[in-house]
Each structure stands twice: as structure tokens, then as C-alpha cells.
Amino acid sequence: MTTTLLTNIGELTTNVEQDGDPCGTLHDAAVLIEGDRIAWVGAGADAAAANASHDRESASGGRGLGNRPTSRPPGALSREMEVVDAGGRAVIPGFVDSHTHLVFGGDRADEFEARMTGTPYAAGGIRRTVAATRAATDDELRARLGGFVAELHRQGTTTFEIKTGYGLTVADEERLARLAAEVTREVTFLGAHVVPAEYAERRHVYIDLVCDEMLRACAPHSRWIDVFCERGAFTAEEARRILAAGVAHGLEPRVHGNQLGPGEGVRLAVAMGAASVDHCTYLDDEDVTALAGSNTVATLLPGVEFSTRQPYPDARHLIDAGVTVALASDCNPGSSFTSSMPLMIALAVREMGMTPSEAVWAATAGGARALRRDDVGALAPGMRADLVLLDAPTRVHLAYRPGVPLVHSAWIGGAPS
């Protein structure tokens, strides 16, 4: 088991609420990592004293920190412990991106260019990616996926979800779920992305396929089931049936909802006990009330509004109403081809009424809640050692310096990435 002591942290975001601060901010702090877990979090002065004692007692054959008070880092430190000086930089939990579509073929840059000259976004463009994905080999998709995962890690994302939805045949959806499962446990079956062209006049037949053979093929590789409950995709009645079929196969529900206009997606997600409803661009008071009284997270995807020129969601209204909000990238080739969680934070602060601290919380702890994970999104003893060292003195710089690569380094499961 490797042991790392990260010291001289100028500002530590723990996301363990204290004294009314949801970010649980500590200054002049330290973190002890043992194996793939956080072993201790606390004051840098305690870590320095404990480390000095460790050095003295190791030199004399003693057990180091084994006899130190519990207010200090617990346990005996290894002689092979690595001490990393953060140089006064800020440390935050690794980003948790709870909504991506990373397994696909092709490119839709021409659609983006057209939107920038006034062409509105429509869900029909998904079918272009479906055709390109079906034509790609497993090795081609795997190589591209590996590139995206490396890109996520470079930008501080340590936990991420991946959806299927660009195959829309039994064989293609199964292989997308299988490839996604090679790189994350958070795989979402999204056979109900759109109705493929070959079923345009037989949508009921396609829904039967999704609920039966396709679901049975994808469920062994998946944790979640999702549906695009939207005009141009699936009605609330169709979505309810598809989600219920997934639940019967042991999958947990998520929903794409209220992206292109007002609709029933949010209330359906709450009624079905979904972990998250994603987009939430067009909400009425009834939607907000339903979310506030539920355990369903509102996952906001500001990269979509940036890329499609739709209105941004009103995060301020949601937070003030008591709704749990997450931020995610929705990285996909059509409506948000970015994997940058720092960009999501900057957009949320500039365009959606969030404070920098709220946005960082939503991109870490909020994402963990959207995935119903209690082992990531915060820095506390027993949590996975997923953390990011910023080339900045505070987390505010993630919004203050948009577009600047501020991730100095990251640890994923206790290992430098």
C-alpha cells in the first residue's frame, strides 16, 4: 500500500459541510492518502508535526505516528511515504461528470457551424452519428474512447458516466455498453435516444425492441437506464414504459428532460424516482416544486446552451428553491462537444446565477449525488482518493480564469494520473 502526504495546501475544498459552508473549506491544510483512500484530512500544522515525529521515530526504529493523538494523522506512516508539497495551491475533489456520450463515430462540426449562423438545434442530427457509429469498428471506437478518457483526466475529471444511444440496434447498443464498461462502472443504456430512421413508421416496434431484446443485451454491462423524453424523441407515456422495463431488469432510472421546450420529463423523473433529470432548460413552477420535494438531482448541462444558443437554465431559481443541482458536460458530437468541467463551472457562474463555490460543489459533490455515489465528490476519511491540485490559490479561479488549464495534477484512486 502506497502512502502519500499532501501538504502546504493553501485552500482545501472537502465538500464536508461545516459552519454553514457546504464546501467545507480548510486553509493551510493537508491530506493523507493510503492506498486508494483518504486516510486523514486536517490542519497542515498537525501534518508537519506528525511528519517530523515520523522522521525522528523512524530513525530510531519507532512506529512514527502510531502513538499520536487522534487529532493528528492516524496510524504509523510508512518509511516509503511520499510527501508532496502543494506550494500553497488549492485542492478540490476530482470532478464527477455524470452525463456524457463518449462512444461514437463521426463528426458534426458542420452542424455547429450552421447553428452559429442561425440554424436551430434539432434532435434529428443524432441519426447522423448513429450511421457513423454503426460503420466504425470496435477497435476504432475503443481508441477514440481512450483518447476522450485521457482528455477527461487531464482536465481533472476522475469519475464519469457514459451513455449508449448511438447504435440503436441490439448488436450496436450492446457493443457500446460493453466498450463503455471497459473504462467506467457508470454505464447508461440509452437505446431510447431517438427512434432510428428504419423504424420511423413503426415506432411501437422499436419501443418493443428497446424494452425487450435490446435491454436484455445491454443490462449486463449497464447500471442505469435513460430515455430522451422530448418532442422529436419519446413521449412521457413511452418513456415511462421504457424506464419501467429497465427497472425490472435491475437498472436505475435517469431522464433527459425539458431540453427543447416545456414538457413532462421532470415530473416523470420525479415520479419514477430517477436519480437525475438532465438538461432542465425549460421549467415551470410545478417542475421546480416537484424537484425540491424529491431526491432527484437536476443536472444542468451549460455546454449545450453554449453550443446550441438556447437559453441557459436558471440555476439560481433551482438552488434557492432547495433543489440539488449538478453540473455535467454532456460531451457529445452534436450539441456539446466539450469534456471540460472547468468550462461548465465558468458558464454556470457567468450565465446561470451560481456562485463559484456552488458551481464547484455541483461539479463534484452534485455529480456524485446524481450518480448516487457516496465514495466520490468529497475529501474525507474513507472516500476514494480522487483529488485535483490546481495551479491557483482558490477554487474561484476556475470561473475567474475561464479557458486557462488550471489543473496542475490529479490523483485517481490514490495514484497520480
DSSP state string for 298-313: EEE-HHHHHHH-PPPP
E strand or H helix at 7 = strand 3-12
What are the binding residues for Fe(3+)? 99, 101, 256, 330
**Does residue 298 sit in the same domain as residue 187?**
yes
**Does residue 142 sit in the same domain as residue 11?**
no
**Does residue 187 sit in the same domain as residue 89?**
no
How far is the C-alpha of 287 from the C-alpha of 289, rounded, in Å?
5
Structural domains of the chain, count: 2
Has residue 323 been placed in a domain?
yes
**Does residue 62 sit in the same domain as residue 196?**
no
**Does residue 26 sit in the same domain as residue 102?**
no
Give the DSSP per-residue string, 181-197.
HTT-SEEEEEEESS--G
The owner of cell 461548465 is: 344
Position 21 scores a pLDDT of 96
Please report, for the domain that includes residue 46, its CATH number.
2.30.40.10
- Report the DSSP beta bridge partners of residue 366: none
Nearest to 268 by CA among 276, 312, 186: 276
How far is the C-alpha of 372 from the C-alpha of 383, rounded, in Å?
14
Has residue 365 been placed in a domain?
yes
What are the binding residues for 4-imidazolone-5-propanoate? 108, 166, 193, 259, 335
**Does residue 104 sit in the same domain as residue 8?**
no
Domain that holds residue 84: 3-93+380-416
Has residue 271 been placed in a domain?
yes
Has residue 228 been placed in a domain?
yes
**CB 249 within 8 Å of CB 228:** no
Has residue 188 been placed in a domain?
yes
Q: Using the 8-state DSSP alphabet, how is residue 296 labeled?
A: -
Question: Cα dihedral sign for 148, 333, 99, 400?
Answer: positive
How is residue 201 written as a grid cell? 413508421
What are the binding residues for Zn(2+)? 99, 101, 256, 330
**CB 252 within 8 Å of CB 276:** no
Position 38 scores a pLDDT of 97
How far is the C-alpha of 121 from the C-alpha of 212, rounded, in Å?
31
**Does residue 132 sit in the same domain as residue 280?**
yes
Please report, for the domain that includes residue 234, its CATH number.
3.20.20.140
What dihedral do alpha carbons 366, 369, 370, 373 form, nearest 10°?
130
**Does residue 226 sit in the same domain as residue 127?**
yes
**Does residue 128 sit in the same domain as residue 18?**
no
**Does residue 55 sit in the same domain as residue 85?**
yes
* Parallel/antiparallel/unpaired status of strands 186-192 and 224-229: parallel
- Report the DSSP beta bridge partners of residue 342: none
What are the binding residues? 99, 101, 108, 166, 193, 256, 259, 330, 332, 334-335
Burial 113-140 (b: 16+ CB within 10 A, else e): eebeeeeebebebbbbbbebbbebeeee
Has residue 53 been placed in a domain?
yes
Nearest to 358 by CA among 334, 323, 330: 323
Low-confidence ranges of the chain (pLDDT < 70): 50-79, 122-124
Has residue 375 been placed in a domain?
no
**Does residue 66 sit in the same domain as residue 76?**
yes
What are the binding residues for N-formimidoyl-L-glutamate? 166, 332, 334
**Does residue 393 sit in the same domain as residue 256?**
no
